[in-house]
Chain A
Amino acid sequence: MGNDSDHFFEKSLNQFQRFVRQSGPAAGAAYTLMGAILFLGALGFFLDQYFNTSPVLLLLGLGLGIVVGFYELAKTIFKK
């Protein structure tokens, strides 16, 4: 009984470690996608305020954010 539960615990822990290993690059790509859109969107917003060009730079920032974010995502997905 003790051996069974030890075995189950070990298997569960190994499985958990496997998930952790696999989730790393996916988490990195997901957060970079979100971060790029937020970062460049916010940068565009503040530059719009400064130069009084609203909403041109905000839209440019969001567009560039999407390009950068998806580029980073593609790098993770199509990794050799």
Chain B
Amino acid sequence: MISGGEQTHDSSVVDQVGENIIHHVSNSDIQHPIVHLPHIFGIDMSVTKHVLMLWIVAVLVSVAIIIPIRKYLRQGKGQPSGLANGIESVVQFIRDSIVAPNVGPKWVNTWTPLILTFFFFILFSNAIGMVPIFDVLGVFNRFVLGVPSSDSHNFINGILHGGVTATGNFNVTAALATITFFTIIIAGTKAHGFIQHWKNLAPHGLAWPIYIILIPIEIIGMFVRPFALTMRLAANMTGGHIAILAILSFMAIFADIFQNVLIGVGMAVVSIPMAVAINGLEIIVVIVQAYVFTLLSAVFIGMAINVQH
């Protein structure tokens, strides 16, 4: 909460709370990027908070997943231990319970790496949103180093703008869903050939007037699936954070309504346990959302491979 948005003192507390919540769940402003980069083809390539978070997640996934697996593979055969053992159980669960039943035994090894990449990337992106590292840095900056929040040239003040959950950004989830969209086409093409994949869109052997209705419905369905993936993940990740911030904001809102600081402090007895409980729920949501995205991707890829009308 310390990083607050551009608040004006003449606006009401409720307005400030609203601004603060939006500021904490949205990406940082492109006008104030963390790293300035030039325009390419008219697109500003500057690094915003969510792009920075994606980079951090990519590094974390590499360190926590790729390095232990490569180390285990270098050792040769034998039972994995430690972190590699934990990773193995997750990999086996996703391969045997999510990918194999949907894409079938023939294609399980082809599509498991992609689904696993989705799972670990989304899991880490969701989870890092639960770690208040930037808020702690902000507190340190403000109260230990004594840097005022108005100092826009300070690096830590710069990275406080925007939320930390990259998967709460619709552009990120749309990019992930776009990968799924093309994977569905590639999976169908690999399994049946390019022409047959498109022929498989609609059931065979129906009267031709039915196809006039059915083919557009199937084509719309093709775009609806990635749209559902996009909205579901981003909305779930944003919703939890908004709930936590709104509940914590009760303290400020009630203090303002009754014009009494003690009532605001008293609200902490209700707000903080509720926020802690929702944080606990969010930890489950972090895992469940990564799981649901991978499950749905596997289901949609499987539908292109195992055509059943």
Contact of B231 among A20, A35, A67 (CB under 8 A): A35
Closest to B220 in A: A68
B-chain residues with CB within 8 Å of residue A67 when the two chains form the complex: 217
Which of the residues A20, A38, A72 comes within 8 Å of B221, measured between beta carbons?
A72
Q: A32-B221, A38-B227, A79-B308 are known contacts. Are A24 and B102 too (CB-CB below 8 A)? A: yes
Given contacts A21-B97, A25-B299, A40-B220, contact A31 B309 (CB under 8 A): no
Q: Are A64 and B220 in contact (CB under 8 A)?
A: yes
Kindly identify which residue among A28, A36, A80 contacts B309, using a CB–CB cutoff of 8 Å. A80
* A24 adjacent to B309 (CB under 8 Å): no
* Interface size grouping (class) on chain A: 20 to 34
* Chain A proximity mask over B65-96: 1 for CB below 8 Å, otherwise 0: 00000000000000000000000000001001
> What residues on B are CB-neighbors of A32 within 8 Å?
221, 224-225, 228
Q: Provide the bound-state CA to CA distance between A38 and B220, in Å.
A: 13
Residues in chain A near residue B221, CB distance under 8 A:
32, 36, 68, 71-72
Closest Cβ of chain A: how far from B22's Cβ, in Å? 20
Tell me if B98 and A35 are in contact (CB < 8 A).
Answer: no
A25–B308 Cα distance when bound, in Å, is 12
Q: Is the CB of A38 within 8 A of B231?
A: yes
Q: Bound state CA distance, A35 and B98, in angstroms?
A: 22
What B residues does A11 contact at CB under 8 A?
none
CB-based nearest A residue for B219: A68
Of chain A, the residue at the smallest CB distance from B291 is A20
| B192 close to chain A: CB less than 8 A | no
A56 sits at the interface (CB 8 A): no
* B116 in contact (CB, < 8 A): no
Binary B-proximity of A62-80 (CB < 8 A = 1, otherwise 0) = 0010011101100100011
B247 contacts chain A at the CB level, 8 A cutoff: no
Interface string of B196-240 (1 = CB under 8 A from A): 000000000000000000000100110111011101100000000
Decide: B220 and A36 in contact? CB cutoff 8 A.
yes
- In the complex, the answer to whether B309 meets A75 with C-beta atoms within 8 Å is yes
Interface size class of B (residues with CB under 8 A): 20 to 34
Question: Could you tell me the distance between the alpha carbons of A56 and B231 in the complex, rounded to whole angstroms?
Answer: 24
Q: How far is the CB of A63 from chain B (nearest CB, A)?
A: 12
Residue of B nearest to A26 (CB): B299
Asked if residues A27 and B223 are in contact (CB atoms below 8 Å), the reply is no
Interfacial chain A residues near B292, Cβ < 8 Å: 27
**Contact assessment for B224 and A68 in the assembled complex, using a CB-CB cutoff below 8 Å:** yes
Complex-state Cα separation, A25 to B301, whole angstroms: 11
Q: Which residue of A lies closest to B203 (CB)?
A: A75
Question: Is A24's CB under 8 angstroms from B101's CB?
Answer: yes
Enumerate chain B residues within 8 angstroms of A39, measured Cβ to Cβ.
223-224, 227-228
- Please tell me if the beta carbons of B296 and A71 are within 8 angstroms of each other in the complex: no
B295 interface residue per 8 A CB criterion: yes
A28 and B300 contact, CB distance less than 8 A:
yes
B298 within 8 Å of A (CB atoms): yes
Tell whether A28 pairs with B227 under 8 Å between CB atoms, given A21-B97, A36-B221, A72-B221: no
Q: List 21 A-B contacts (CB under 8 A).
A: A17-B96, A20-B97, A20-B98, A23-B295, A24-B98, A28-B225, A31-B228, A31-B229, A31-B296, A32-B221, A34-B228, A35-B225, A36-B220, A36-B221, A38-B228, A40-B220, A40-B224, A67-B217, A68-B220, A68-B221, A68-B224
Q: Which 8 interchain pairs have the tightest Cβ spacing?
A: A35-B228, A28-B299, A31-B228, A21-B101, A17-B97, A36-B224, A39-B227, A20-B97
Q: Contact residues of B with A, CB < 8 Å?
A: 93, 96-98, 101-102, 217, 220-221, 223-225, 227-229, 231-232, 292, 295-296, 298-300, 302-303, 308-309
